[in-house]
Each structure stands twice: as C-alpha cells, then as structure tokens.
Amino acid sequence: MSITPLSSAPLSSTPLAAAPSAHRTAVAPFRGRIGRDARSGHYAAPHRYRLHLSTACADGLRLAIGHSLLGLGDTCPVTLLPAVPDCPGGGHAALRPLYDASAHRYTGPAHAPVLSDDWSGRIVSAHAPDILRDLDRLPHHGDPLHPAGWESTIGAVERLCAEEIEQSAQYAGAADTDPAARAAALDGLLDALGRLERWLTGEEYLVDGRITAADIHLWVCLVQLDTVHRCHLDASAVHRIADHPALWSYARRLAAHPAFGTRLDLDGIARRHHGHCQGLEAAGAAVQILDWAAHSADLPRTPRR
C-alpha cells in the first residue's frame, strides 16, 4: 500500500501534551561534553572533532542529519561505518583503537556512534543525544538545532519518540509477549501518533516554524516505524498506523529535503535489522506506508559503505 497524505502548512507554537516523564536510553561508557570555552577541556574548536557513525543505525542517522543541517562538513568530518557491526556485542572493529586509547583495559563493545577528539585520539562521547546537542556548539553555518526557549518541547518530542513510539512498537510486535500486552502497546503507539497528527495538522514543522532537533527525532522515528517495526505487526495494525495523513505527509516532505533524504540508507537499515532481529515477520511487512526511496530519488546521494 502506498499512502498519499495531505499537505501541511506553517507551524504554531503549541507544545506537546502528555509527554512521558522519563527517557530511558542505553548507558554510554563515555559522556564527555563540548563546552563553550577553553576551560571545559573539550571546547568548540573547528577541525578538532570527528563523528564516527553508520546511517543504518537510528542514532547515527539522527547525527548525520544534524551534521548536514548545521553545515559541519568542513568543521567536523564524518567517518562512515558499515551498516552491520562486525564485532561481537554489536561493536565496530574500526572503533576499537579509539576505545582502547580512551579507557585502560576497556573490555566492552566498541559501539557507534562516537564523537572523537582528533587532537588527543580519544573519545569525547558515545552518547548520541548529548552529541546531537553539542553539534550546536561547534562553529557551523546553519540555524541551531536546539533554539532557545524550545528546549523542553524538543526534549518532550525526544522522549515521546523513544518511549511512546519506538518502545511501544517493539512491544506491539514482540512474538514472546501475550496478546493483551501487544494490544495495549499498540493502543499506546496509536495514541502517541494521534497526538502528533493533531499537532502537525496544518503545520509544517514541530517547533519554531523551521526544522529543529525535534523534527530530526520524529522523522528518524517514523523511518524506523515503517522500515523496521512494521515487519513484526499485522496488516491491520499497519493500516491504522498509516491512517495519520498529516504525520506521513510531514515524513514524506522531509524525505525530499537534502539533509534527510540523502542520508537514508534503506538497504543498510534492512541488513542491520535482519542481522540481529530475532522476531517473527508478520503480514505488516508487506504493507509499506511510504515509498522512502521514491521521495528521495532525485536528491544527490552520499557514498555508502
């Protein structure tokens, strides 16, 4: 099925209602921050930092989009990693020297994404949400991703995407969960999508009348919902998810934006998903909501690994 959503218009400043109260994220072994001056240790100097990421990973895709929107190509280079991690535990062999240099006898997996310091050869941070915020502190050519006055709303969108959409979608498609729990998770997912649908009806972006980190979080979340999570849902559930025309019109519009569409590695996302997923494929796998490749087909492509 191909959905043809309605068009949207500019944004109001209505905040998101009923955002979840806590944001659960994986614990990162390194959580340094880029400060505002030399006293911070990691201060915002051009040509000092480097991103290591895979755009097949949701966190890596968010950072690649933010990096592009800020115009950081000359200031903070990006090293692209393979779509499928090549070490046990989901790590990347290419990142092992950085992890070894950053922690004595580190034995954990060398996860991506990573922000490294080329001056010291060590890791600044492996915590993707902090990295996205700190990209705003580097010398850049775009509008800030976290505009002043909108921090709490952007944080609410980030938490909603992580908890009410991504986690609910995972539970709704989990083969080892009882039917009642799956149905409750689906209801929670649809409730979150319904709130976003109402917010985006007649609006172009989520906050401040332009693209911000809130749009990055939501768009990548919708990509994951359509390319990964729907594979474990039944067809009826996917049709209900697709029945949010303003939301999917918004997703389609951003897919045609160079900073978004050119970073989308659909083949890599599929290989990464099938490389580690243990779930059972359901009928929803055949019900595509958006033709992501078609919406970004006319954009210049970035080389993939």
- In this predicted structure, the answer to whether residue 202 has a pLDDT above a threshold of 80 is yes
C-alpha atoms less than 13 angstroms from C-alpha of 265 in its C-beta half-sphere: 26
Q: How far apart are CA 101 and CA 223, in angstroms?
A: 35
- In this predicted structure, the answer to whether residue 6 has a pLDDT above a threshold of 80 is no
Please give the pLDDT value at position 279.
66
Handedness of CA 166, 112, 150, 6 (dihedral sign): negative
Q: How far, CA to CA in Å, does 63 sit from each of 58, 136, 208, 259, 287? A: 9, 11, 20, 11, 28
Please give the pLDDT value at position 119.
95
For 43, the 3-state DSSP assignment is strand
Please give the pLDDT value at position 1.
30
Share of the chain above pLDDT 90, in %: 71
Residue 282 in tokens: 């359901």
Average pLDDT for the chain:
87
Please give the pLDDT value at position 278.
63
Distance of CA 286 to the CA centre of its chain: 23
Q: Which domains does the chain have, with CATH numbers?
A: 38-135 (3.40.30.10), 151-295 (1.20.1050.10)
Q: How far apart are CA 53 and CA 111, in angstroms?
A: 9
Please give the pLDDT value at position 10.
32
pLDDT tens digits for range 80-105: 999 999 998 889 999 999 999 999 88
Decide: 98 and 89 in contact? Cβ < 8 Å.
Answer: no
Sheet strands (E) in the chain:
49-53, 78-80, 114-117, 122-125
pLDDT tens digits for range 59-68: 999 999 999 9
User: What are the b/e assignments for 253-272, b being 16+ CB within 10 Å?
Assistant: bbbebebbbbbbbeebbeeb
Any bridge partners for residue 116, and if so which? 50, 123
Q: Across residues 102-119, what is the average pLDDT?
A: 93
Decide: 32 and 179 in contact? Cβ < 8 Å.
Answer: no
Q: Across residues 185-209, what is the average pLDDT?
A: 97
pLDDT band, very low/low/confident/very high, at 17 (cuts 50, 70, 90): very low
pLDDT band, very low/low/confident/very high, at 116 (cuts 50, 70, 90): very high
- In this predicted structure, the answer to whether residue 217 has a pLDDT above a threshold of 70 is yes
Q: How far apart are CA 248 and CA 226, in angstroms?
A: 10
Lowest mean pLDDT, pick from 34-48, 149-163, 194-208, 238-252? 34-48
This prediction's pTM: 0.87
For 53, the 3-state DSSP assignment is strand
- The larger pLDDT score, comparing residue 297 to residue 219, is at 219
Decide: 276 and 90 in contact? Cβ < 8 Å.
Answer: yes
Q: How far apart are CA 261 and CA 253, in angstroms?
A: 10
- In this predicted structure, the answer to whether residue 277 has a pLDDT above a threshold of 60 is yes
Please give the pLDDT value at position 238.
95
Q: How far, CA to CA in Å, does 151 sit from each of 75, 132, 154, 267, 283? A: 25, 13, 5, 34, 39
Residue 31 φ then ψ, to 5°: -140, 50
- In this predicted structure, the answer to whether residue 140 has a pLDDT above a threshold of 80 is yes
Distance of CA 257 to the CA centre of its chain: 16
Amino acid identity of residue 112, one-letter, is A
- In this predicted structure, the answer to whether residue 268 has a pLDDT above a threshold of 90 is yes
